[in-house]
Amino acid sequence: MTPGRKLMLLVERMSGIVLPDRELQRLTDWAGKRAAICSFKDTSAYVDALRRNPDSDEWRVLLSRVTVKESSLFRAPQQFKCLSENIIPELVDSGRRSLRIWSAGCARGEEPATLAVVLNECLGGTNVRWSVVGTDVDAEALEAARRARFSRRAVRRVPAESLDRHFTTHAGSYELNSEIRRHIEYGLINLVREPLEVPGQPFDVILLRNVLIYFRKESQARVVRSIEQLLAPDGFLLVGPSESLMHVAPGMKAEERNGVFVYRRRHEEESPPEVVANRKSREPQGSATAPKPLPAETTRFESDGGAKDWVAFAVAGRQAEIEEDLRLALRYYRASLYLQPDSYQVRYRLGLCLEGVGWSGRAEAEFRAVLEILRLGSGKTLAIFQGPEFPTRNEIEAACREATQNDAMS
């Protein structure tokens, strides 16, 4: 095995992060340079030293090189709206006099700063105390987080009034005011190290957004199992809007709040949703020229969570789409629509996936159904399908109209 490949595996073992193959050459070149700087004989010796010394300072340099710290304040704003309008009021109504929120994988502090602004605006002037803990595996990112200075781009989604109130400008950067900064603590925590312990645990809310997307399913499951233990029994876990914990978190269940899905701990008497493959497909069988048929058996999803799981299935469908497994996406979207037939966005995505696997007739039927839902005004909107990468309601309507008209003409 080449030293570069060994290093990739080592990074995964240490941090959970799976680097894509296209990174191999760049990582190898980088390791060669580090080997020279640190006076190792060659790259192999450098990699070997990292393997033997998991606590060495060089790991700090390496982890900073391999982590993706893309973030901004108020990223996925619908989740913060849900926090301030739904989750925080509910936690306060439950009788809490203090709230603790953990941003796990906080990058350069964008998420903890956002939480501090939101909490200050929700709880300022009340007698409820609050604190935010931001942790990351990258020590350099944490140093930047402690400085709490953000670029114009990073604050572009902060509402103007909040920006004015809570930040001081310094030549193009925005510094979070010390008055709310003092509620935030930072710590170096590697989420894959066991046992996972975080000062301030248990937390009322944990944000684990856009961190597990770089991990394999097994590591995701391990991290979620550890994190579950650090969440208050009635607490809330939020992952990124296009992430799903389906299959990796049997101890958690998805709930929808204002179109945002959140995870809660499943109590012992509740069993996780089952996936039962027992319904014969009614898809026509393919021929040499016809598009490939869908699998002979489709999956029926049975769940004790009832209507709430439609969101989780929709998210899993989206995840499968991102992973370019359209057949799996079809199954999830169907399961979601089985529980919530009026989700026009899910139905639209189902149509797109059907087109993607070559079933244009079926796709057209879904697009027609979307138009019918929109005509009746019964459509259910999901926040996870909103945002710049998704079409708006009007765009979906126009696309479905066009798709069904074209088909009618041909």
Ligand X SMILES: C[S@@+](CC[C@H](N)C(=O)[O-])C[C@H]1O[C@@H](n2cnc3c(N)ncnc32)[C@H](O)[C@@H]1O
Q: Which residues bind ligand X (CB under 6 A)?
A: 15-17, 67-71, 75, 105-107, 110-111, 136-138, 141, 190-192, 209-211, 240
Q: Which is nearer to ligand X, 187 or 293 (CB)?
A: 187
**Smallest distance from the beta carbon of 15 to ligand X, in angstroms?**
4
Q: Which helix (H) or strand (E) holds 25?
A: helix 24-37
**Smallest distance from the beta carbon of 69 to ligand X, in angstroms?**
4
Structure token digits, residue 378: 């019964």
The CA-to-CA distance between both ends of the chain, in Å, stands at: 55
**Smallest distance from the beta carbon of 92 to ligand X, in angstroms?**
24
Q: What are the distances in angstroms from CA 373 to CA 259, 310, 335, 400, 408?
A: 18, 17, 18, 12, 20
**Smallest distance from the beta carbon of 139 to ligand X, in angstroms?**
10
The sign of the torsion formed by the CA atoms of 302, 308, 309, 311 equals positive
Q: Which helix (H) or strand (E) holds 396?
A: helix 393-409
**Smallest distance from the beta carbon of 275 to ligand X, in angstroms?**
28
Contact 157, 147 (CB under 8 A): no
Q: Which is nearer to ligand X, 119 or 191 (CB)?
A: 191
Q: Which is nearer to ligand X, 107 or 158 (CB)?
A: 107
**Smallest distance from the beta carbon of 120 to ligand X, in angstroms?**
19
**Smallest distance from the beta carbon of 18 to ligand X, in angstroms?**
10
Burial label for 276, CB within 10 Å (0-12, 13-18, 19+), is exposed
Using DSSP, state whether 29 is helix, strand or coil.
Answer: helix
**Smallest distance from the beta carbon of 363 to ligand X, in angstroms?**
33
**Smallest distance from the beta carbon of 16 to ligand X, in angstroms?**
5
Count H helices, E strands: the chain?
Answer: 16, 12
Structure token digits, residue 232: 């208050």
Per-residue DSSP letters for 54-103? Answer: TTSHHHHHHHHHH------TTSSHHHHHHIIIIIHHHHHHTT-SEEEEEE
Q: Which is nearer to ligand X, 38 or 144 (CB)?
A: 144
Contact 145, 112 (CB under 8 A): yes
Structure token digits, residue 106: 């906080």
Q: Which is nearer to ligand X, 196 or 339 (CB)?
A: 196
CA geometry: angle at 343 spanning 338 and 346, to 5°?
A: 85
Q: Which is nearer to ligand X, 106 or 352 (CB)?
A: 106
- The single residue listed with the structure tokens 């370019």 is 324
Q: What are the distances in angstroms from CA 257 to CA 85, 86, 207, 409?
A: 10, 7, 15, 42
Q: Which is nearer to ligand X, 81 or 401 (CB)?
A: 81
Q: In what order do the strands lie in the sheet with 252-257?
A: 184-188, 129-136, 98-104, 203-208, 231-239, 260-265, 252-257
Q: Which is nearer to ligand X, 105 or 317 (CB)?
A: 105
- The amino acid at residue 180 is I
Q: Which is nearer to ligand X, 131 or 219 (CB)?
A: 219
**Smallest distance from the beta carbon of 140 to ligand X, in angstroms?**
9
Q: Which is nearer to ligand X, 64 or 177 (CB)?
A: 64
